[in-house]
Amino acid sequence: MEKKAKKARSAPPQSRQKDWIDQLPEEILGNILSRMAMKEAARTSILSRRWRNLWKIYGSHLDFDASETMRLMFDGVKERHIEAPKYRDWVNQVLDSHEGSSLERLRIAFDLGGSYIYATAVDKWIDFAIVKRVQRLEVDLTAAAGCYTCSDSVYTFPSWLLDLPSDFPSFDRLTALCLKSVSITEEDLAYFLSTCPFLEQLTVENSSSLQNFRVSGQSLKLKHLEIGYCQKLQNVEVSAAILVSFKYAGPRINICLIQVPELALVSFSNQYCEKFIINSPSSLYLSRLEKLELDLRFTGSARCVGFPSNFPEFSNLKHLELKFVAVADESVLFFSSIIGASPGLIKLTLKYDIDWATRHQTLSNPEVFRNQGMLEVCEKEWEEQARRYSHKCLNVIEFVGWAGIKTDVQLANYLLENAISLEKIIVDRRIPRYTRTSWNEELCPMPGNREAALLSAKELQRKLPPRAQLIIV
């Protein structure tokens, strides 16, 4: 007895803690498992016989993440025709073994290819989500190469699953729906909006069949709406009393945002972003925006867009994020017009790629070189335009893609001279780059002279206000 007591006292704290957890009631263990990611919950099955099947009952977050496999497929290390059936079998195995009565989240994210041989499997997975009365459903079948311009989606949403008798399980608990590279009709989306009383988030990307989309209704709980790369889409009309954010990426279409008094964030990308800028919108909702994101990287050099010298005032805007491509050593002071139209701006984020090739062609091609005189005139006009603005509330400036050349140094100097309340400037020498499976970004090392970029960033220290902080990445 004495030896056993001594052994228990000398046991590592971790082992004693594991024994203590193992003695907890099953309800508490289930609560712990329900908060864990799928892979983490499944790993608990090796702890003891008691834990072996608990995750099957209480695991409520089923995230079939295969991003690493997708990356290897993009790099040519792995082949889709081999990996796709493996992914299907993995999902089927886990879903078949799941014994819980409900599900908080189901996420499917894999490139199953253009073939329809997996349609039956995906139908089964969505049916599973209905039976388990899922709260958050994501079906992302985007290609590993990140193609958003395909004319046909990989998979068509099964409308027949929405026509089941009223006594069958439904999406009545759904709070978030995300469909990417899934073809879905306007009628099916209207079903979700009208019959899902708790739906707060809706994302639709690369749907080949969607042509018109209307969001309206007094009882809508929708707070976040995101539409992207639906090539046949022509019209979007949104009337939602508590909508907080709206994001659109794609071609120039008709977008009408009415009765959106709570709208605080708007994000535009791709060709529509250019339309938004050139038309100098004056919609009422713009005056209430707190954050505006404009992604101009798909339009080539940002100066080609033709920024108007006078923007309507964004009187409530606190955060402006601009993503663009800039020609090396050419001025980007034309951005001063939209920055200056935001008198209450607190944070400015600039994410950009430097186009070195266009600059080289300009210098080596005599015909193009002669047009430099016109560009110089424009640059002088931009400088004069910039002098008209002051930024009394601007506290934080963030550069992502800093190269330390005229393009960013000139803009930084302008902002430092006019941002009288500046507290922090962040200079990141890496360039933003799209991931290939989502709209999120990753950062990769920048090409060019990193040392020169570092030295130019350090030079900004001398121009900072007394209490301002310089952070260099």
Residues 289-305 pLDDT 10s: 999 999 887 765 656 66
> How far, in Å, CA of 14 to CA of 466, rounded?
50
Tokens (6 digits) for 391? 């930024």
> How far, in Å, CA of 293 to CA of 284, rounded?
17
pLDDT tens profile 342-351: 889 999 999 9
Task: Please tell me the total count of domains within the chain.
Answer: 1
Q: What is the pLDDT of residue 17?
A: 47
CB 403 within 8 A of CB 451: no
Q: What is the pLDDT of residue 363?
A: 47
Q: What is the pLDDT of residue 303?
A: 61
Tokens (6 digits) for 128? 């599973």
- Start-to-end C-alpha separation, the chain: 60
Please count the residues of the chain.
473
CB 57 within 8 A of CB 31: no
Q: Across all residues in the chain, what is the average pLDDT? A: 78
Q: In this structure, is residue 116 part of a structural domain?
A: no
Q: In this structure, is residue 284 part of a structural domain?
A: no
> How far, in Å, CA of 302 to CA of 401, rounded?
15
Within the chain, how many helices (H) and strands (E) appear?
16, 21
Domain extent for 427: 296-473
Q: Is the dihedral of CA 307, 348, 326, 411 positive or negative?
A: positive
Residue the block writes with tokens 């508490």 = 28
Q: What is the pLDDT of residue 356?
A: 74
Q: In this structure, is residue 397 part of a structural domain?
A: yes
Angle at 392 between CA 389 and CA 394, to 5 degrees: 100
CB 112 within 8 A of CB 83: no
Q: What is the pLDDT of residue 187?
A: 93
Residue 159 has what DSSP assignment? G
Q: Kindly give the parts of the chain with pLDDT less than 50.
A: 1, 4, 8, 15-17, 24, 29-30, 42, 44-48, 50, 52, 54-58, 151, 360, 362-366, 368-370, 434-447
> How far, in Å, CA of 24 to CA of 43, rounded?
18
Written as one letter, the residue type at 187 is: E
pLDDT tens profile 393-427: 899 999 988 888 888 888 888 888 888 888 999 99
Closest CA to 30 of 15, 50, 16, 46: 50
Q: What is the pLDDT of residue 437?
A: 35
> How far, in Å, CA of 137 to CA of 210, rounded?
19
Q: In this structure, is residue 111 part of a structural domain?
A: no
Q: What is the pLDDT of residue 440?
A: 41
pLDDT tens profile 233-261: 999 999 998 999 999 998 889 998 888 98
Would you call 367 exposed, middle or buried from its count of C-beta atoms within 10 A (0-12, 13-18, 19+)? exposed
Q: In this structure, is residue 223 part of a structural domain?
A: no
